[in-house]
A and B are shown apart, each in its own frame.
Chain A
Amino acid sequence: MSYIYLVPIATKSVFWLEPLAAGIFREFGMHAKCAKCSIEISPAFDPLRQQYNSSYLLGELLAQPLADADKVLGIAEVDLFIPILTFVFGEAQLDGPGAIVSMHRLNNTFYGMPENNTLLVQRIVKESIHELGHTFGLLHCSSPGCVLNTSTYVEDIDQKSDALCRQCQKQLPAM
């Protein structure tokens, strides 16, 4: 039996673990497990941008293979970027083994608003399922409610559901 591993990266707590594992099982029919990895994040830090290179962290995450892992999803509290973009909510390997999600811009406090943990967990679940969907070979979906719909603002994430639309479900490989 293989699992989807959830790997906290530089995070204080895993308050999101249970709802995320439930969402993953609902959408992909696979069990999720939490794994602790010792990833050194400082080399990924860009002092000019005050952000962490997402591709570097994803590479580090995959450099520590887990025996029964089908997919690995890193969940970081730090702000992530790729060189061409100002920030990313997450990064995934299309039809590949790994993905990474940042909670930094999913948190209301980033936008100067009061903390809302319920909303934060919903956003983490949606963004994680979105990135994991890519690892299963799914592309962005034009259906507005689908979790694979592209999101460039946090408001876009709030607008969509945490589930795959029927069309995307059909495209999932049999598991």
Chain B
Amino acid sequence: MKPSDIGILIVDDEASVRDALSKLFKFDGYRVDTAEDATIALQKLQDNLWDIVLLDIKMPGMDGIELQRRIKQIDKSIITIIITAFASVDTSIQALKEGAFDYIVKPVDPDDMSHLIRTACEHRRLIYENMQLRQQIEEISFPEEIVGESPALKKVMDKVATVAQTDSTVMIRGESGTGKELIARALHSNSNRRYFPIITINCGAYTEGLLESELFGHEKGAFTGALYRRRGKLEMADKGTIFLDEIGNIGHKMQMDLLRVIETREFTRLGGDNLINVDFRIICATNRDLEKAVREGSFREDLYYRLNVFSITLPPLRERKSDIALIARFFIKKYAQAMNKNVSDLSPETMEVLMRYEWPGNVRELRNVIERAIVVARGSVIEAGDLSFPFPATAHTTDEDSLEDVEKSHIQKMLDRTGGNIAQAATILKISRLTLYNKIEKYRLKK
């Protein structure tokens, strides 16, 4: 920031002080204005942008302390410096407590004044830079990949908006591939903890011993191979969020340890004695039936209640088929750009195939199908032939499906089961081969 970018407003009822300071700062190139009382100062604060306000404590009418309060209400990032004729400890402490950057006792040494203004400018620059970086973080961390307009997804996003700002523990339920981690990130990036990290740990990916070390960290020599002290994920998540994925897969000892940490917010590193205090929010996710696990005794009931404070259940893709087109086009744009391919849409036939499929792997599976299709696509449109499904289409029908949907799904299921053998499928379906051929053509089924 150049001095000319900084605006300094001087508020003092003594003309000599206003003039002297004004001249002093003008010589350094700052933009300067003066006000003889609080009313004029407040008017000038509304008319123009000021970075630093120097204000006298004792003024007729509103005093400097009250004026500072008003200034902070207008813009709390404005730096206020109190000018006082007598070094009154009480008023100075009060001013500092209420957010003054510093105070000066008249007369002030020229070097102190010069140093104070330089420090205040640097502070202001840092505040400004901090605001810009926060804005950038907000833009970057916004989870763009939650795509869809279906009522089912809207309900989920409403729940995210409701609970994100709180510090409540959230349990995200849903089949594999439904976007549980994306929802966890959305919760974090909409919370007050968004400027601190979200640390993810996949509890199902570690053995119990390793998970313990990952979560709590360890001291040097805690176990064979522990050559150095290492901070655990819980420590890294201090002031932020810890996302415990696949929480349903942790063993009994870890359940007990985790319960203790949740209750006390304290733990020790493996092999250590020092208690470490941390401040984190827990978001966990599972695709297991935890209630059943509790009934069967494989998951602690007390931990279950600690984790299941607020629950968000993600619908499988087959229950929000109206989002398939939007999600598919989102991934087309993303991967076509990444692969530098001129693919921009899906053919109507491809769309029908996507809509007919049951998506057992949910959005993740749809993403992979689109990514592969873009690799093989020759034109600007993805054709049905470009699609390849890792799993055969399985018949999942819902209560909302029409009779035609159910018929189509059931015929496809039989075709898959018989490996495309028309005669066998027709026998199972108790219809003639010709009827089956007609239905395959009508529904454009895969043999």
Q: Which of B70-125 contact A (CB under 8 A)?
A: 83, 106-111, 113-114
Contact B21 A84 (CB under 8 A): yes
The 8 A CB mask of B13-29 against A (1 = contact, 0 = none) is: 01011011101101111
Nearest chain A CB to B97 CB, angstrom units: 25
- A107 CB-CB contact with B under 8 Å: no
State which of A55, A83, A139, A152 has its C-beta within 8 Å of the C-beta of B110.
A152
Interface residues on B, range: 20 to 34
* Whole-angstrom CA separation of A37 from B24 in the bound complex: 27
Let me know if A85 is at the binding interface, CB within 8 A.
yes
B110 touching A85 by the CB < 8 A rule?
yes
Interface range for A: 10 to 19
Q: Which residue of B lies closest to A156 (CB)?
A: B111
A81 interface residue per 8 A CB criterion? yes
Contacting residues of chain A (56-84) with chain B, CB-CB under 8 angstroms: 81-84
Q: How far is the CB of A143 from chain B (nearest CB, A)?
A: 13
Asked if A83 meets B106 with Cβ closer than 8 Å, knowing A55-B19, A55-B20, A150-B28, the reply is yes
Contact A84/B20 with A150-B114, A152-B110 known, Cβ cut-off 8 Å: yes
* Stretch from A19-27, A86-94, A121-129, A159-167 contacting the other chain: A86-94
Residues in A neighbouring B110, C-beta threshold 8 A: 85-88, 152
Distance in angstroms from A154 CB to nearest chain B CB is 11
B26 adjacent to A94 (CB under 8 Å): yes
Which chain B residue lies CB-closest to A54? Answer: B20
User: What residues of A have a CB within 8 angstroms of the CB of B23 in the complex?
Assistant: 91, 94
Q: Is there an interface contact between B16 and A86, defined as CB atoms closer than 8 Å?
A: no
Closest to B107 in A: A86
Verify B107–A84 contact, CB threshold 8 A: yes
- Does A85 contact B17, Cβ atoms closer than 8 Å? no
**A110 CB within 8 Å of chain B:** no
**Chain B residues whose C-beta falls within 8 Å of the C-beta of A139 in the assembled complex:** 26-29
In the complex with contacts A55-B16, A55-B20, A85-B109 CB distance below 8 A? yes
> Which residues of the other chain, A, contact B107 by a CB distance below 8 angstroms?
49, 81, 83-86
**Does B27 lie within 8 Å of A140, measured CB to CB?**
yes
Minimum CB–CB distance from B56 to chain A (whole Å) comes to 11
CA–CA, A86 and B24, complex, Å:
13
* Contact of A83 with B14 in the complex, beta carbons under 8 Å: yes
* Min C-beta distance of B336 to chain A, whole Å: 51
Q: Is the CB of A85 within 8 A of B27?
A: no
Interface centre among A94, A134, A139 (most CB of B within 10 A): A139
**Which residue of B26, B28, B111, B114 has the most chain A CB atoms within 10 A of its CB atom?**
B111
Of B16, B17, B110, chain A has the most CB atoms within 10 Å of the CB of: B110
- Docked Cα-Cα span, A139 to B19, in Å, equals 17
Name the CB-closest residue of A to B27: A140
Most chain B CB atoms below 10 A, which of A55, A84, A94, A152: A84
Interface residues of A in 124-156 (CB under 8 A from B): 134, 139-140, 150, 152-153
Q: Are A84 and B106 in contact (CB under 8 A)?
A: yes
* Bound Cα distance A55, B16 (Å): 9
A153 to B112, CA, bound (A): 11
Q: Are B114 and A83 touching (Cβ within 8 A)?
A: no
Residues of A within 8 Å of B14, CB to CB, are 83
Determine how close the nearest CB of chain A comes to the CB of B27; give it in whole angstroms. 5
Q: Out of A83, A86, A134, name the residue touching B20 (CB < 8 Å).
A: A83
Chain A, residues 26-55, CB within 8 Å of chain B (1/0): the string is 000000000000000000000001000001
The residues of A with any CB-CB pair to B shorter than 8 Å are: 49, 55, 81-88, 91, 94, 134, 139-140, 150, 152-153
Known: A85-B109, A86-B108, A140-B29. 17 other contacts (CB 8 A): A55-B16, A55-B20, A81-B107, A83-B16, A83-B17, A84-B83, A84-B107, A85-B24, A85-B108, A86-B109, A94-B26, A94-B27, A134-B27, A139-B28, A140-B27, A140-B28, A152-B111
Instruction: Return 22 A-B CB contacts under 8 Å, by A number.
Output: A55-B20, A81-B107, A83-B16, A83-B17, A83-B20, A83-B106, A84-B17, A84-B20, A84-B113, A85-B107, A85-B113, A86-B107, A94-B26, A94-B27, A139-B26, A139-B27, A139-B28, A139-B29, A150-B27, A150-B28, A152-B111, A152-B114
Kindly list the 5 A-B residue pairs having the minimum CB-CB distance in the complex, ordered from nearest: A152-B111, A82-B20, A152-B110, A83-B16, A139-B29
